[in-house]
Amino acid sequence: MKKPAVTLLIALAALTPVALILWFAIAQPVKVLPRMRPLPPFLLVDQNGDWFGRDDLRARWR
């Protein structure tokens, strides 16, 4: 083998473990969010003194 090819193989052999360590440190597994469950009924008072509850918010977050 020629000298540049040997140097390239040594460099690749040295950098491959470093690249793998960095990849596993950066690429975290995706966390799955828990399954949503129905919101229990509630009533609250807004800043104007009007009552609102779960049914008033239902159409906004679908």
11-26: pLDDT as tens digits = 888 889 888 888 887 8
Query: Average pLDDT of 20-42?
Result: 84
- pLDDT over 60 at 62, yes or no: no
For residue 53, give the nearest of 44, 35, 10 by alpha carbon: 44
Closest by CA to 52, choosing from 40, 42, 38, is 42
Query: Residue 49: pLDDT band by 50, 70, 90 thresholds?
Result: very high
pLDDT score of 1? 57
Contact between 53 and 44 (Cβ < 8 Å): yes
- Cα separation, 60 vs 39, in Å, equals 14
Domain that residue 54 falls in: 3-30+37-61
| Token pair listed for 8 | 């390239």
In this predicted structure, what is the pLDDT of residue 25?
78
Q: With a threshold of 0.75, does the pTM exceed it?
A: no
Beta strands in 1-62 (DSSP E): 43-45, 51-53
How many domains are there within the chain?
Answer: 1
